[in-house]
Amino acid sequence: MSKMFILAKVLLKTNFKLTKKSIDLGLIIVLSLLPMTGLIWTAAWEGYDIMAGVGQQGLILWTAISLVSLLTFLLGIFFIMGVFFYSNDIELLIPLPLKPWQILGAKFITVLVYEYMSQLVLFAPVLLAYGIKDNASFVYYVYGLLVYLLLPIVPLVFSSFINILVMRSFRFVKNKDKMKTISGIVTMAMAIGFNIVVQRFSRNLGNPEELVGLIQQGNNSLLLKSQDVFIVNRFMAMALTNYGDLLSSLGNIVLSIIGVAAFIGLFLYTGEKLYLKGVIGLTEAAPSRKPSGNATKRNFFKGSSALGALRGKELKLLFRTPVYFLNCILMNFLWPVFLLIPIFTGGEEMGQISELSKYLGDPKVLAYIVAGAAGTALFISGSNMISSTSISREGKNLYVSKYLPVDYKTQINAKAQCGMLMGLTGMIMALIVAWIVLSFPLYLLMMAMLVSLPCIFFINYVGVLIDLKFPKLNWDNEQKAVKQNMNGLLAMLISAGFGALNFGLVIYLRLNYISAFATIICFYILADLLLYKLASGYGAKLFGEL
């Protein structure tokens, strides 16, 4: 056991390096989560008064325990897959004189620490709000701390069992890149679904009857089923709700501890038998089974132009690398989803959005819609970071670009055109959503599309020039090329600034929609010509100096 805890300590140190950047990032994350923490606190605080009126205040704790367990289990499936099987330290740990259960146990502890941090947002507010409202004794808070520490363990053990069995039984999951992409998409979809549920729940806070019905309905459906699956949850909930009965609550806490210990023992025993068999054979990419198809592709690109071949190479890299796909490609499809969330959540927001369609015939409003379309195109293309990280993504392999029999101008154009293609895709999807939600007339959709084209061209060439001037080439992980690259943030800020400029032109010059359309298009076409000339000359010079 000592080796397992020593390894866990080492893994935690490598994952939680206290640098100024990590501390600043931690503070930003804490501030961003404060609204959700406040919402959960308010739900528990007000829900207690409502449920106490019918003598069912204990349902608050039952619901919180069930919901947190369910979320831990679902999200843990993908998190554990990454930590247990797809992390880069596996190749270093396997040759060490460690048993499989020791490696597995140490990694489980690191995942558990992350879950404890997430419970500060999801579970701690409920525990504290309930204790204060119930005028709870010291015993309640002792039990609350024990439940806090025990709660995520059994759901994570279930997630671990599923991962170990899947990795042991199925060959397709051995492809790291493919599974990282799939798990990233599923996790993002679950996060959006959780956002929808939270918004629905927050609207019920002002209606006591609906809140009571929602809590009771949850305890009679999926959440109640989770109490049966995660057996120890029932004992934890009874210990907290009956803390006044010392003998009964103490017995339930002891049963919870014994149950959790039994699950941990079973998990480590199973891991000893099956873990190594799941790890062996993992690869970054699966070997191709169709050599003839690859030959066909080579023949296809052999006949294409240098610009087309470079575009194809860039797009393949973006789609095949999980980090690039999730942060650069998928972002183009998420903005329309965010616009559709009010439709799924219903409520007043949807009614307010529908009201906007009444003003589509007003010439003054149309001018702002044209400016908004240009601003949307700028933001979608700027936020996908395809162009603003196009040079950085080359990393230490940039020297290959110097050996290619293709001039730097063509290489710059290929990188910018990939960003333009995906930016245009995102804009088309946004306009489809606007047509569905706001019933945009066809002529307005056409104007929005036309005005967005020079804007997309503009921000993508700006992004490439930024990355040529300040490239981040020294990285050992694809995430650093994208997520830790300030060039992407700079491109987003520039796109937001020029989006505001569009509205400034309409307001200051008092333009109608025809004049706004002509002015914005002319402005960006002139800017595009200057940028293209700058990229062809100064940009190619910067490329050559890298």
Task: Check residue 56 and report its DSSP letter.
Answer: -
CA distances from 487 to 390, 457, 464, 527 (A): 10, 17, 9, 20
Is the torsion defined by CA of 502, 504, 506, 508 positive or negative? negative
Among the listed residues 29, 283, 76, 65, the one whose alpha carbon sits nearest the alpha carbon of residue 186? 76
End-to-end CA distance of the chain: 51
Distance between CA atoms of residues 371 and 517, nearest Å: 8
Q: Are residues 133 and 190 in the same domain?
A: yes
Shortest CA distance to 158 belongs to which of 69, 279, 256, 253? 69
**432 and 340 in a common domain:** yes
Rounded to 5°, angle at Cα 199 from 194 and 205? 125
Last residue of a domain, one of 223, 247, 279: 279
Number of domains in the chain: 2
Which pLDDT belongs to residue 307?
Answer: 87
Q: Is the pLDDT of residue 173 over 70?
A: no
Residue 459 confidence class, pLDDT cut points 50, 70, 90: very high
**309 in the same domain as 274:** no
Predicted local confidence at residue 347, as pLDDT: 52
Query: How many degrees, rounded to 5, is the angle at CA 327 between CA 465 and CA 289?
Result: 110
Query: What's the pLDDT band for 301 if we cut at 50, 70, 90?
Result: very low
CA distances from 360 to 4, 132, 339 (A): 65, 51, 18
Residues 351 and 273 in one domain: no
Q: 233 in a domain, yes or no? A: yes
Whole-number Cα distances in Å, 534 to 187, 214, 408, 542: 41, 60, 13, 11
Q: Is residue 308 part of a domain?
A: yes
Q: Is the per-residue pLDDT at 238 higher than 50?
A: yes
**Number of other CB atoms surrounding residue 232 within 10 Å:** 25
Whose tokens are 């004049």? That residue is 515
Q: What is the C-alpha to C-alpha distance for residues 189 and 191, in angstroms, rounded to an integer?
A: 5
User: Residue 521, Cα to own-chain centre: how many angstroms?
Assistant: 34
Q: What is the pLDDT of residue 287?
A: 46
Question: What tokens were used for 125?
Answer: 């507010």
Least confidently predicted of 24-33, 227-236, 336-345, 368-377 = 336-345
Q: How far is CA 286 from CA 3, 44, 78, 181, 504, in A?
A: 34, 48, 20, 14, 52
- Whether the predicted pLDDT of 221 surpasses 90: no
Q: Select the more confidently predicted residue: 183 or 27.
A: 27
Tell me, what's the pLDDT at 288?
47
Residues 6+ apart with CB under 8 A from 384: 328, 329, 331, 332, 419, 422, 423, 426
Q: Which of 228, 246, 279 is the last residue of a domain?
A: 279
147 dihedral zone (left: phi>0; alpha: psi -120 to 50; beta): alpha
pLDDT at position 222 over 70 = no
**259 and 236 in contact (C-beta within 8 Å)?**
no
More confident site: 415 or 190: 415
Q: At residue 175, what are phi and psi to the nearest 5 degrees?
A: -85, 105
How far is residue 426's CA from residue 432's CA, in Å, rounded to a whole number?
A: 10
Residue 480 inside a domain? The answer is yes
Is residue 442 domain-resident?
yes
Q: What is residue 266's predicted lDDT score, i.e. its pLDDT?
A: 92
Least confident of 36-45, 126-135, 154-163, 278-287: 278-287
User: Which of 246, 279, 312 is a domain's end point?
Assistant: 279
CA distance 8 to 104: 10
Q: Are residues 115 and 158 in the same domain?
A: yes
Q: How far apart are CA 476 and CA 68, in angstroms?
A: 35
Residue pair 364/463 in contact (Cβ under 8 Å)? The answer is no
Q: Taking residues 396-423, what's their average pLDDT?
A: 89
- Residue 194 pLDDT > 70, yes or no? no
Residue 286 in any domain: the answer is no
What pLDDT score does 480 carry?
A: 77
Identify the band that residue 416 occupies on the pLDDT scale cut at 50, 70 and 90: very high
Q: For residues 135 and 334, what is the distance between their CA atoms, to the nearest angstrom? A: 45
Kindly list the distances between the CA atom of residue 254 and the CA atoms of 250, 355, 420, in Å, as whole numbers in the listed order: 6, 58, 61
Report whether 160 contacts 119 (CB < 8 A): no
**38 in any annotated domain:** no
Residue 320 shares a structural domain with residue 246? no
Q: Residue 392 pLDDT > 80, yes or no?
A: yes
Average pLDDT over residues 116-129: 90
- Do 208 and 343 sit in the same domain of this protein? no
Same domain, yes or no: 450 and 538? yes
The dihedral formed by the CA atoms of 520, 523, 526 and 528, expressed in degrees to the nearest 10? -60
pLDDT for the residue 405: 86
Average pLDDT taken over every residue of the chain = 80
> Do the domain assignments include residue 287?
no
**CA nearest 274: which of 118, 476, 103?**
103
Q: What is the pLDDT of residues 64-76, one digit of tens each?
A: 888 888 888 888 8
Confidence (pLDDT) at 530: 94
Instruction: For residues 446 and 324, state if they share a domain.
Output: yes
Contact status, residue 433 vs residue 503, Cβ threshold 8 Å:
no
Q: In the numeric block, which tokens belong to residue 246? A: 């010392």
Q: Name the amino acid, one letter, at 189.
A: A
Model pTM above 0.75: no
DSSP 198-265: HHHHHHTTT-HHHHHHHHHHHHTTHHHHHHHHSTHHHHHHHHHHTTTSHHHHHHHHHHHHHHHHHHHH
| pLDDT class of 332 with cuts at 50, 70, 90 | confident
Provide the CA 206 distance to its chain's centre, in angstroms: 30
Average pLDDT over residues 225-245: 80
> Each residue of 76-109: pLDDT tens digit?
887 888 788 777 787 788 888 888 889 989 999 9
Taking 60 as the threshold, does the pLDDT of residue 202 lie above it?
no
d(CA 302, CA 305): 8
310, 368: one domain: yes
CA torsion, ordered 30, 32, 35, 40, to nearest 10 deg: -60
Tokens of 244: 């006044």
pLDDT at 200: 61
Q: What residues make up the domain containing 263?
A: 2-12+56-279
Whether 248 and 344 share a structural domain: no
pLDDT at 163: 85
pLDDT of 524 over the 90 cut: yes
Report the alpha-carbon distance of residue 457 to residue 362 in Å, rounded: 29
Same domain, 189 and 322: no
pLDDT of 294 above 70: no
pLDDT at residue 546, as a whole number? 84
Q: Under a CB-based contact definition with an 8 Å cutoff, are residues 339 and 333 in contact? A: no
Residue 291 is assigned to a structural domain of this protein: no
Q: What is the mean pLDDT of residues 140-152?
A: 93
pLDDT, tens only, 348-375: 555 555 555 565 666 677 888 888 889 9
Whether the CA torsion 400, 402, 407, 413 is positive or negative: it is positive
